[in-house]
Amino acid sequence: MNLKYIEKLEYSTILNKLSEFCVTDYGKNLCASLVPSANKQEVLNLLEETSEALRLLSEKEPFFENVQSIDYCLKILNSNGVLNLAMILQLTQVLKISAFLKDYFYTDRDISIFPICEPYFSKLYHNPSIIKTVEHAIIDENTISDTASSKLASLRREMKKLEDEIREKLNHFLHSASYAKYIQESIITMRNNRYVIPIKEEYRSMVKGFLHDISTSGSTVFIEPMAIFELNNRLHILQLEESLEIEHILQELSLLFSPYIVQLQEDYATIGKIDFIFAKAKYAIFLNAIKPNINDDKYIYLSKARHPLIEKDCMVPLTIELGKTFSSLIITGPNTGGKTVSLKTTGLLCLMACSGLFIPAKEESSIYVFDQYFADIGDEQSIVESLSTFSSHMSHIVHILEASTSESLVLLDELGSGTDPIEGSSLAISILETLYQNNILCISTSHYAELKNYALVTDGFENASVRI
């Protein structure tokens, strides 16, 4: 699939709109990489996938939450490393979303009517035991719970007792009449992870203890009184033991996930894929779109079709047919009348359908699965290559004639323009005749009366018009 040509139809803008309905980064990436399929059965499956998601949405919307890529977490597990709190919660969230989605899909539902979506839900792995253990041990990405281990709970109780004793001694010091004039402010603070009190600089020698810091102004010194020195030491030792115990807990929690690296990796991707599928369904609802028919007879029929990027109230629906009794359609009409929009609408809806997206049109609309899409639309004069507008168009046309097959769709805007009208119209007729002889479906816009007259008298060609 030549992306250069489908981009002329604003296909990437459709993908951007689609991604807005995704919650996960993985789902958004799937949107960005979506390309139309040239395989009919695959297209049918993709459309049915969207259809099943729509039926599921009509009952209840599933819960999704964005989870950042877990690749780095799994890399650490693969190397027998230890995860931090945020990483453990990240992997746990993947398991929780998987559990929710499985419950969402398999509870009180006839899964036999969702044969396309069911394999995705069946892939999901969840582990209630790990979820329960992590929730019992971790409060948030910065805090281990006291209940994570009996040793941690004991250490923290002892630390709390020590801290209370230290504060009691320091409060007695701060409110002592003997030391009142030495105190800069009646507060207890921390310096170098040790409890200290603020002393006026001129009285620093009057308080026995260790100086840990001096204020910016130099008027205050922060002293650890000798009376709490041993208590601070004991507290520091307990803090070290707490850190070691937390490291041990993190190691134990990391080991819980290690046997399930493959399942976690698959879960992350599957959650993103399911999010992507539901995004297609949500976009269909947003566009008030329908599932188009896919035909085997190489024709396009769009009934009351709308360009998906134009506001509904600003767009006059169009009905367009190509391929049944004629293979070349020439659209004429005044400037700003909608010729190019008609061209783009046709191509874009074909691209959307073959990408598994529903299209804004009536139910009877039918589309063929083309192998390639070629579009020459707009002024692409190249300064770098010193090509004029006409030459630029002609270079594209040459490539289209060489690369297109009888299974391709060709869309040409203002074919033959940019040069002498007589020469341009003759050249346009020659190009269209070549495409016709090669059995290629083609839609072309034109101002040339010669093309209109040619279509009137030539089999396989048909005129269409737009008007303001």
Q: Is 200 exposed, middle or buried (0-12, 13-18, 19+ CB in 10 A)?
A: middle
- Rounded CA-CA distance 416/424 in Å is 4
Burial of residue 53 (CB within 10 Å: 0-12, 13-18, 19+) is buried
**Burial class for 413, CB neighbours closer than 10 Å (0-12, 13-18, 19+):** buried
Checking if the pLDDT of 379 tops 70, the result is: no
* Cα–Cα distances in angstroms (integers) from residue 281 to residues 37, 64, 178, 231, 290, in the given order: 18, 15, 77, 64, 10
417 in any annotated domain: yes
Phi, psi of 158 (to 5 degrees): -65, -40
Task: Using a cut of 0.85, tell me whether the model's pTM lies above it.
Answer: yes
Q: Are residues 341 and 455 in the same domain?
A: yes
Q: What is the pLDDT of residue 465?
A: 77
Residue 244 placed within a domain: no
**pLDDT of the residue at 395:** 80
Question: Using alpha carbons only, what angle is made at residue 38 by residues 309 and 350, rounded to the nearest 5 degrees?
Answer: 25
Is residue 187 in a domain?
A: yes
Closest CA to 66 of 271, 282, 263: 271
Looking at the structure, do residues 351 and 436 belong to the same domain, yes or no? yes
DSSP 295-359: ESS--EEEEEE--TTS-GGG---EEEEESSS-SEEEEE--TTSSHHHHHHHHHHHHHHHTTT--B
- Let me know if residue 239 belongs to a domain: no
Q: Where are the alpha helices (DSSP H) in 126-185?
A: 128-137, 150-174
Q: Which pLDDT tens digit goes with each residue over 6-39?
A: 888 999 999 999 999 999 999 999 999 999 999 9
Q: How many beta carbons lie within 10 A of that of residue 190, not counting itself?
A: 11
Q: Is residue 240 part of a domain?
A: no
- Number of structural domains (the chain) is 3
Residues of the chain with pLDDT > 90, as a percent, come to 70
Q: Across the chain, what does the average pLDDT equal? A: 91
pLDDT in tens, 329-377: 998 876 666 788 899 999 999 999 999 999 999 999 999 999 999 998 8
Q: How far apart are CA 134 and CA 334, in angstroms?
A: 68
Residue 397 domain boundaries: 291-465
* CATH code of residue 93: 1.10.1420.10
pLDDT digits (tens, 9 = 90+) for 197-247: 999 988 888 888 889 999 988 899 999 999 899 999 999 999 999 999 999
- Which position has the token pair 């191509």? 347
Query: Is residue 315 in some structural domain?
Result: yes
